[in-house]
Amino acid sequence: MHHFDRTLLNASVILACCCCGRDTPAQRVEGRPTRVLVLFQQQAEAPPMLEFTERFRRTLQDEMRSPVEFYQEALDLDRFAERERSSSLLGYFQDKYRGLGIDVVVAVGERARKFAVEPLNAVLPGVPIVFALCAEPQTDPSSLPAHVTGRLAMASRFGPTLAMARRLQPDAQRVVIVGGAGAADSASVLAAVSATHSLGDALPVVIVQGLSLDATLPKLRKLPRHSIVLFANYRQDGQGHSFEPLDIVGSLARAAAAPMYAQLRSYVGEGVVGGSVARFDEEGIRTALLVVRVLRRRVGEPMPSVQTIQHSFAADWRQLRRWGLAESRLPKGTDLLFREPTAWERYRAIVLAALVIAGAEFLLIARLLIERSQRRRAQFVLEEQQRSAEAARRQIAHMGRVAVVGELAATISHEIRQPLAAMRSNAEAGALFLSRNAPDFVPTHRRFFEILFQDITAENEHASAIITRIGALVRGEVLPRAPVDLNEVCQSAARLLEHEAEARRANITLLLCTRSALVIGDAVEFQQVVLNLALNALDACRSAAEPRVIISTDARDHEVEFAVHDNGSGITADVRQHLFQSFFTTKSTGLGLGLAIVQSIVERHNGRVCVDSNEHLGATFRVLIPRLPSAEVPTVQRLNSSSPAMRQASGRSSFASSR
């Protein structure tokens, strides 16, 4: 009995020591940090584990809002097999964590879960266990102890990946499942085979498993192109060599002669096309949230139920291009990774900025062009207004000058008529004196003075007639008209210009038609027209080597033309358009009224004036007057045209006949 009491006492002490080695959630001491022990099945420094750990720790610290102490152990059981129940390993955990007060154990991986549930429970009995990154059928949720929960991938996890592969490869002829030789690898291969059967697909299944890595790669290279390659798991090959799957999945995918698919997001980017994948970073967050729920349970509250790992579709855009798989066949919502942006996507901001700048510049240029057009239009309108104002000013000035000329014409006519009248009286007196005293003169002298006085009287009458007609022209009066012979008018004008032509050493030639050149009008006015045109012609050919002026007539059926031609330098286009404007002249001493009077006289006789000008060939002024039929010829107005020095052509020259 005494021995039994001692044994009971020792058991009580041991139990008390074990109980003192931890704090249950209800017994956790307030104020001390929450202590979390994380057990990794494989190496903790593997890239997927680093993703998981980083998000797990950050999320747990953020959610707890109190100090959290993390203790981390990497069991590395893939390389150190059959060590789970090693007494030395258990002793290590007992010596290290006994009495520390671990609040929760997080087991990452199937073999880490088994170690935490069975061997480690002897060291940390009753401590809540949360497992992560485990899968069926290795983990059976119905057989778990009450203090264990976690996140679990279903056995059908390969089904969505195979369905995605079938959509991308509708012409596939087989499914090839690649896996390692380890226990976990075999379980993944069985789950993949089960997924192919659940799809009801009649495609044959080929399993590549149990070979060394060196033997697996050549086998994959010889696969037919129309194959679906599914990566199950590969932690150990047929020769017992252990691998981190992330390290070899790229070699397997690049060696395969057909597209390869996988179930982990970390593998996408290593050469696989994609699949229905789980994300390690996302699992780190979800596991941390589950741990928070476990730590915040009330006393006696059961553990949360096991959660299912959610998968999402992901694909490598580069592998789609490599195998010629249509992007449009991907499941809706697939995350397309590593897609190279198009030129538009890459330079969209630059292009849009350039377009905005170009648009602004275009609008600015358009605005400037509009303003320039408006300014030019306004300038044109202003210039037109200025020209109109200048034209009006010139017209007013012209009207003023015409009025002054009219007044001067009357004055000049009155003033000149007096000396002309005196000259005529003296000439008549001289002629009368000669007739009374004829016997006292030599007959030759007497005849000379008679002719002289007769010419003075005739020219006096002619000058008076010119003055009378100029005044009538300025005042707009209509003088009596009669038939006029233009041949006689041209002869008379040529006689008057004889001395002027001799002074300038010019030659005046008459080319008169033989037909009747009768017109209705005033002989003095027609003579004034011929004189004005002939004088202008003499001025125009002044610089010629042999100045020559030709006065010609041509009687046609309904009109008579007389023309004045010179061999000067011709008339420029700029001067030609202003020839008949009043007060326009190219002479330094001219008044600019000669051609204006010519045009006015011709138009008063229902005629017209035209100009022909050729450079270096001189100019020709043509006047066309309606012809009077021979049957209507009454008394003809005549001018004194007798002149012994006047040269007249006996016939029509080549110049006249060429017109």
One domain, residues 326 and 368:
no
Instruction: List phi, psi (to 5°) of 153.
Output: -85, 135
Do 497 and 616 sit in the same domain of this protein?
yes
**Integer Cα distance of 501 and 541 in angstroms:** 11
Pairing of strands 312-316, 274-277: antiparallel
Listed in order, strand segments (DSSP E) in 267-375 are 274-277, 307-308, 312-316, 335-337
Predicted confidence (pLDDT) at residue 98 exceeds the cutoff of 80: yes
d(Cα 329, Cα 166) in Å, to the nearest integer? 10
d(CA 467, CA 475): 12
Q: What share of the chain is helix, strand, coil (3-state, %, to 5)?
A: 50, 20, 30
Summarize the confidence of residues 182-207 as an average pLDDT. Answer: 86
Phi–psi pair at 131, nearest 5 degrees? -100, 155
Same domain, 25 and 145: yes
Tell me, yes or no, whether 20 and 142 share the same domain.
yes
Run of H or E including 257: none
Structure tokens at 579: 């020839």
Residue type at position 209: Q
Last residue in a domain, options 153, 181, 197: 153
Cβ atoms of residues 335 and 315 within 8 Å: yes
* Neighbour-count burial for 12-32, b at 16+ CB within 10 Å, e otherwise: eeeeeebeebbbebeeeeeee
The C-alpha atoms of residue 62 and residue 55 are separated, in whole angstroms, by 11
The CATH number of residue 490's host domain is: 3.30.565.10
Q: Please write the tens of the pLDDT for every residue from 352-368.
A: 888 899 999 999 999 99
Give DSSP secondary structure letters for 427-481. Answer: HHHHHHHHHHSGGGS-HHHHHHHHHHHHHHHHHHHHHHHHHHHHHHHHHT-----
133 and 191 in a common domain: no
Beta strands (DSSP E) in 262-409 are 274-277, 307-308, 312-316, 335-337
Q: In this predicted model, what pLDDT tens digit does every residue of 448-473 receive, in sequence order?
A: 676 767 767 766 766 766 666 666 65
Same domain, 207 and 246: yes
- For all residues of the chain together, what is the average pLDDT? 81
This prediction has a pTM of 0.52
* Residue type present at position 15: L
Count: domains in the chain: 4
Q: What is the pLDDT of residues 140-179, one digit of tens each?
A: 999 999 999 999 998 888 999 999 999 999 999 999 999 9
Residue 462: alpha-carbon gap to chain centroid: 81
> Which residue carries 């006292």 as its tokens?
440
- Does any domain span residue 615? yes
User: Over 50: is that where the pLDDT of 646 sits?
Assistant: no
Instruction: Look up residue 42 and give its DSSP letter.
Output: S
Please report the pLDDT score of residue 319 as a whole number.
96
Q: What is the pLDDT of residue 590?
A: 60
Token look-up 């991308």 returns 168
Domain co-membership, 548 together with 649? yes
What is the share, in percent, of the chain residues with pLDDT greater than 70?
76
Residues 34 and 79 in one domain: yes
Mean pLDDT for 329-343 is 90
In the listed set 383, 418, 440, which residue is the last one of a domain according to the structure?
A: 440
With respect to residue 471, please indicate whether it lies within any of the assigned structural domains: no
pLDDT for the residue 231: 96
Give the model confidence (pLDDT) of 280-318 as tens digits. Answer: 999 999 999 999 999 999 988 999 999 999 999 999 999
Query: 189 and 326, same structural domain?
Result: yes
Of the candidates 151, 132, 160, 155, the one whose C-alpha atom is nearest the C-alpha of residue 309 is 151
Pairwise CA distance, residues 507 & 653, whole Å: 15
Structure tokens at 227: 């194959």
Contacts 24+ apart (CB under 8 A), 466-472: 466/524, 466/528, 467/412, 467/413, 467/416, 467/417, 468/413, 469/522, 469/524, 469/525, 469/528, 470/409, 470/413, 470/528, 470/597, 471/409, 471/410, 471/413
Domain identity same for 332 and 395: no
Residue 178: strand pairing partners = 208, 231
Structure letter (DSSP) for residue 238: T
Do 165 and 135 share a domain, yes or no? no
**Residue 86 forms part of a structural domain:** yes
Query: Which residues on adjacent β-strands are paired with residue 613?
Result: 619
* Residues of the domain holding 373: 355-440
Determine, yes or no, domain membership for 459. no
Q: What is the DSSP letter of 340?
A: P
Q: Does the residue 637 lie in any domain?
A: yes
Residue 477 reports pLDDT greater than 80: no
Pair of tokens at residue 267: 């593998």
Directed axis angle between helix 443-475 and helix 523-540, to 10°? 90
**How far is residue 456's CA from residue 423's CA, in Å, rounded to a whole number?**
8
Q: What is the mean pLDDT of residues 55-79?
A: 91
Handedness of CA 481, 483, 488, 490 (dihedral sign): positive
- Give the pLDDT band of residue 30 (cuts 50, 70, 90): low
| Residue 41 domain-assigned (yes or no) | yes
Q: Are residues 498 and 378 in the same domain?
A: no
